[in-house]
Structure 1
Amino acid sequence: MAYRMKRSDETCEEALRRIAVEEIDAALAEIDDTAMDLHEKVHQVRKRAKRLRGLIRLVRASFPDYAAENAAIRDAARRLSGLRDFEGMVETVDKLAEATGPEGLAPLRDHLIAVRDGAVAGSDVVADLAAFRADLVALRARAEGWSLTETGFKAMRPGLEKVFARARRDRRLAAETPETAVIHDWRKAVKYHWYHTRLLQPLDPSPMDRRAEQVRRLSEFLGDHHDLAVLDAWLAGLADPPGGEAVRTALRTRIAARQGVLETEAQALATRLFASPARDLSRRWKRLWKAWRAA
């Protein structure tokens, strides 16, 4: 299974290189897939970039090239952000309709689709994908030679603890001050912990699968919250909102109500997932690591 440590990886360094190359090769294949819808293609390769950033963040403390490579992956993915932003808002409207009912959302959805399609027509997505592809090819060549200064679980423990501690801290901050920026920061930490749980799933497959699924759900709650904030900000800035001012006011009220529900669901789930300090989690996972490597 992709995006996992394997017992056949003799070292963490070898695992780092293998997983990075696998993700890059998958992204290159998606870019080259002529049958794949353009919007889906952009969505998929941006997810690959996020997985790569999650991978290197796990070994950040022992990876001398972390800062440069993280910036390279981030900047490459930004080439495709414009198209994805509008497609993301269409998906956000669809999720809002699913959660609260479709009434009153059709004019907004139609307007967003028209804006999205206009953005595609007015840009050179093919050229942006070609440039992103070139960045990935260069990254692949470097990834084959990536090196770490530590071995075994020691290479991963600081990154694992830092991300977990940040998610735990941000949960408390969001409970005290549920502002958009605070919740967005919390979501980023949660998503990185999700990636780390997936990478280390072979240590204890069934429990780790369950945790990964719960963290994924939490990440989705927080991601939906952020996407609604983006949609709300876009709506607020429209000079001529679809349906008029009364419709815009009603939609923004509806968005805020849905965000409140998502905050409640996220806090309930996160309280269980992040109950223990980061060091407790890393100690448990270190014991699992040693048993897994010794098997």
Structure 2
Amino acid sequence: MAYALSRKDRSVQAALRRIATEEIDRALAEIDDPDMPQPEKVHQVRKRAKRLRALIRLVRHAFPGYAAENAAIRDAARGLSALRDSEARVETFDKLMEATHSGGFATIRTYLAAARDHAAENAHSDDDLARFRAELVALRKRVKHWRLTEKGFKALKPGIEKTFGAARRDLRLVHDRASDEDIHDWRKRVKAHWYHTKLLRRLRPKVLKDRAAKARDLGELLGAHHDLAVLRAHIAGAADLPIDADARARFDRLAAARQAELEDEARDLGTRLFSRPAKAIAHRWKGWWRDWRKAVA
């Protein structure tokens, strides 16, 4: 089944257990797939970890085990980040060159690609994936015993409000003073709202599918902004990068200008997505939930 609550779920608790189990099973299948390249495995299972964390965050208010399980999933996935980070820097460089129709920075790309290849050669991805797999197997056993203290929409409402409200507050902060860290924090809230919209999209399929698509687009804009911030910091601190100060400065200005463009796009889209108060959104979704559950009855 999809990453979403279903009318076939007997309760929110049953949906929580089902969706978590399905995500774990898909991650295990990806790890065990002999035909999937290792970098793709790492990328996919890290996404599964994010989806799992967003799932339990939605019911955090009613889930006594939230803190422990969130930490377990986060810590298990953390060991998979090093190889992905070096690959992401190359991908970010290529996207920057494509978006700005620029050239003349071949030395930087060669440097980044060499670092990526070195990381791949020296990575312990097999061991890291094996450890992550063991954590997932243990988590799958615990999922069967997950319990919520609230039923129905009461288990969902605080998570919806908290995530939406945080994204809305971060939008106001970004309008006032947009540091790279502020925008990165906003991105995390936006992505959590995106996942929650996907999880609840069947309440109003057309409306929430469209909202999820916009939240995904906003998350990608903010993700591209963050990737450029990471790349700029990496290049600025790369003492062994064989380019002169002028070339380094020109590259940084190019990346900064692209970040500014992404910020403008993100603010416009974010203003449309988060124009209403969090309580109003939760109240509206509660009505949709009531209608959806009546259809089941």
The answer as to whether partners of 1:4 and 1:198 remain within 8 angstroms in 2 is yes
Distance in 1, Cα, partners of 2:207 & 2:46: 28
1:69-148 aligned within 5 A: 69-148=69-148
Distance 1:106 1:211 in 2: 39
- Which residue of the partner structure matches residue 217 of structure 1? 217
**Retained in 1: the 8 A contact 2:3–2:199?**
yes
Pairing 1:10-49 to 2, within 5 Å after superposition: 10-49=10-49
CA contact (8 A) 1:30 1:41 kept: yes
Match of 1:65? 65
Report the Cα distance in structure 1 between the residues aligned to 2:107 and 2:122, rounded to whole angstroms: 22
The 2-side partners of 1:91 and 1:231 are apart by: 10
Report if aligned partners of 1:27, 1:48 keep a CA contact under 8 Å in 2: yes
Q: In structure 1, how many angstroms separate the alpha carbons of the residues matched to 2:242 and 2:77?
A: 31
Tell me whether 1:55 sits opposite 2:43 in the alignment. Answer: no
CA contact (8 A) 1:153 1:289 kept: yes
**Does 2:265 correspond to 1:265?**
yes
Name the CA distance, whole Å, in 1 between partners of 2:76 and 2:283.
Answer: 36
The alignment covers a number of residue pairs equal to 295
Letter in 1 for 2:54: G
Deviations 1:175-213 (A, max 9, x none): 111101111110000000000000001011111110000
Give the counterpart letter for 2:288 in structure 1: L
Aligned to 2:278: 278
Q: Deviations over 1:233-283 (max 9, x none)?
A: 100101032433222111110110001001100000010100000000001
The one-letter code sitting in structure 1 at the alignment partner of 2:218 is L
The runs of 5 or more residues in structure 1 that have no matched partner are none
User: After the TM superposition, which of the residue ranges 1-10 and 238-247 deviates more from structure 2?
Assistant: 238-247
Identity of aligned residues (%): 58
Residue identity matched to 2:31: I
Which residue number in structure 2 is paired with residue 168 of structure 1?
Answer: 168
Shift of 1:27: 0.5
Confirm or deny that 1:245 pairs with 2:214.
no
1:233 equivalent in structure 2: 233
Offset of residue 102 of structure 1? 4.1
What RMSD, in angstroms, separates the aligned Cα atoms of the two structures?
A: 1.0
Segment drifting more, 102-111 vs 178-187: 102-111
Distance in 1 between residues matched to 2:34 and 2:226, nearest whole Å: 32
Moved more, 34-43 or 18-27: 34-43
Contact 2:28 2:133 in 1 (8 A): yes
Q: Is the 8 A contact 1:242 1:248 kept in 2?
A: no
Confirm or deny: 8 A CA contact 1:64 1:148 kept in the other structure.
yes
Q: Is the 8 A contact 2:170 2:182 kept in 1?
A: yes
* Letter of the structure 2 residue corresponding to residue 61 of structure 1: H
Q: Distance in 1 between matches of 2:240 and 2:249?
A: 13
Change (3 A) 1:258 1:10: same
User: Aligned to 1:3, what secondary structure does the other structure show?
Assistant: coil
TM-score (structure 2 length as normaliser): 0.97
Q: CA deviation at 1:117?
A: 1.3
State yes or no: 1:200 paired with 2:184.
no
